[in-house]
Structure 1
């Protein structure tokens, strides 16, 4: 019997680590891929390494440099001259898209993950996009995922030969509380993750990502296992 393989786009955050747990639970041999795109939160790359080691996939874990995204700027996550907004703020003027959106990020991530998946013979790519908690991000929408899948089928050998690679988005319609509930069921190592946008040693506790994470744990009646500067 052939082994099912899946590439998991692993940021070192709560959502992508939950995807690791789900992919493992669904019987996949996991191949994690992490991107260093010049983000403020450099610690998340080390978190991703720790998560990969937890799932015993460190020997196949790829860390890919996309430093040019920092050179482009245009996002509070890559440009330190732009302040990370507090929870509930977009950080932009006359726009519904948060300033924490990184232009082209998920499009690039999925393109590179597709190349990795085709080489290793993976049938699926898992990505932790969510259309509820991050509804302002254009590259987290279901329609974006569908269109990228269509392009993948056209642009790859396996797609042309009738075995296209699927994009799995198990969290796309879940609230943060639902994501954490499933992660707790699967014993996902949340103590090894970070979700903070600000990039300090401890999570800030006040950015939008931290607040959503804390709220999710609170709604589950559980305590977030990581340290916060403010909570």
Structure 2
């Protein structure tokens, strides 16, 4: 059976990508990365639930806490305040973790080579996000090039980003259509018990559900 390495954060987008990979007939190798973000424990809990839901047998949970040591973002640096109450649709907010997807995809490339995966699925969204530069289609194309250039000739990996040009309401609608266990996903940047409902990620998620005329199954403050 063909294999896909799915980078699963525990969020709605990456979870939907894993469901789509399974629908395409891939055996899924799941990758989760802990980088001492504020909601690390909740995200890991969601990841494990999603893996159980999809009957994923091979999974990696890796400690990449050096990202927090680099700092420069409010997800790992408690001295910085997470922006609330407004979506940053032009200016890149301080929730951007410098080159995070570049780091994640480097690791994913290594595991994909080891596990003999032909595809890497990652839930980047360019059209309806906070403007993170490492979520663009152009960046993913470059990442695909460097992974294939830096691995053995027998390793030919395609990075798949099925959501890159969708907005959040389209993502919610597709997730509902595919019967994704959305109750096991988490988007909040700050809280682990009840989602704050005010950070960029919560606002995007809530807007997506509203525009899709659907109710979000997770609990908000």
TM-score using structure 1 length: 0.91
Q: How many Å apart are 1:199 and its aligned residue?
A: 2.8
Q: Is the 8 A contact 1:131 1:142 kept in 2?
A: yes
> Per the alignment, in what secondary structure is the counterpart of residue 70 of structure 1?
helix
Gaps of 5+ in 2: none
- The answer to whether structure 1 residue 180 and structure 2 residue 193 are counterparts is no
Q: Is the 8 A contact 2:129 2:204 kept in 1?
A: no
- The answer to whether structure 1 residue 202 and structure 2 residue 194 are counterparts is yes
> Per the alignment, in what secondary structure is the counterpart of residue 29 of structure 2?
strand
Report how many residues are paired: 219
Q: Give me the whole-angstrom Cα distance separating, in 1, the residues matched to 2:58 and 2:78.
A: 32
> Per the alignment, in what secondary structure is the counterpart of residue 31 of structure 1?
strand
How do 1:121-200 residues align onto structure 2 when only pairs under 5 Å count?
A: 121-134=116-129, 136-157=131-152, 160-161=153-154, 164-200=156-192
**How large is the RMSD of aligned CA atoms in angstroms?**
1.3
> Per the alignment, in what secondary structure is the counterpart of residue 182 of structure 1?
helix
Q: Give me the whole-angstrom Cα distance separating, in 1, the residues matched to 2:69 and 2:163.
A: 30
The residue aligned with 1:74 is: 72
Gaps of 5+ in 1: none
> Per the alignment, in what secondary structure is the counterpart of residue 216 of structure 2?
coil
TM-score using structure 2 length: 0.95
Q: How many Å apart are 1:53 and its aligned residue?
A: 0.9
The residue aligned with 2:14 is: 16
Q: Give me the whole-angstrom Cα distance separating, in 1, the residues matched to 2:85 and 2:138.
A: 26
The residue aligned with 1:101 is: 96
Q: How many Å apart are 1:88 and its aligned residue?
A: 2.7
